[in-house]
Amino acid sequence: MMSYSPIVYLPSLADERAQAYQHRWFLCDTQHRLIPAEQLTALNEVGLSLFAGCLRISAPGMLTLELLLDVIEDDDSVRCQAQVGEQLVAAIDEGELAHTWFSQLLGQPCLCLKVDPESEQSIVWP
């Protein structure tokens, strides 16, 4: 069975359902620039699972974070753009809870963003 990583640079899920969510989320600095993999070694401790329409994210010593898998994005205030390599990517801001969770894990301020599902853009991840 193939493995898929819903969050760029995070461990993969050996679950066929995860294929639809391959690289849906990514982590940026507060300037909306993708954080390079070498700065994200703490992600090796993260566990992922799919449960009840959510991506469950766990790490030692932290409460579980759940991100909804399929959301109709009807609030334009959460839309943003992020720099991924040389590309400008249409994204959705996952909010303060997700930002705080990943910032605590990484020990640095960061943002958890989702590729805008309405964007037809093909993204090349560095």
pLDDT along the chain (126 residues), means of 10: 88 89 96 96 94 96 96 87 96 97 97 92 89
The pLDDT of residue 33 is 98
As beta bridge partners, residue 111 has 28
The pLDDT of residue 56 is 97
Gyration radius of the chain's alpha carbons? 14
- Strands (E) in 32-116, as ranges, are 47-51, 54-58, 65-68, 79-84, 87-93, 111-115
As beta bridge partners, residue 81 has 90
The pLDDT of residue 71 is 87
The pLDDT of residue 121 is 82
The pLDDT of residue 118 is 87
25: amino acid identity, one letter? W
- End-to-end C-alpha distance for the chain, whole angstroms: 25
Query: Contact 29/111 with Cβ under 8 angstroms?
Result: yes
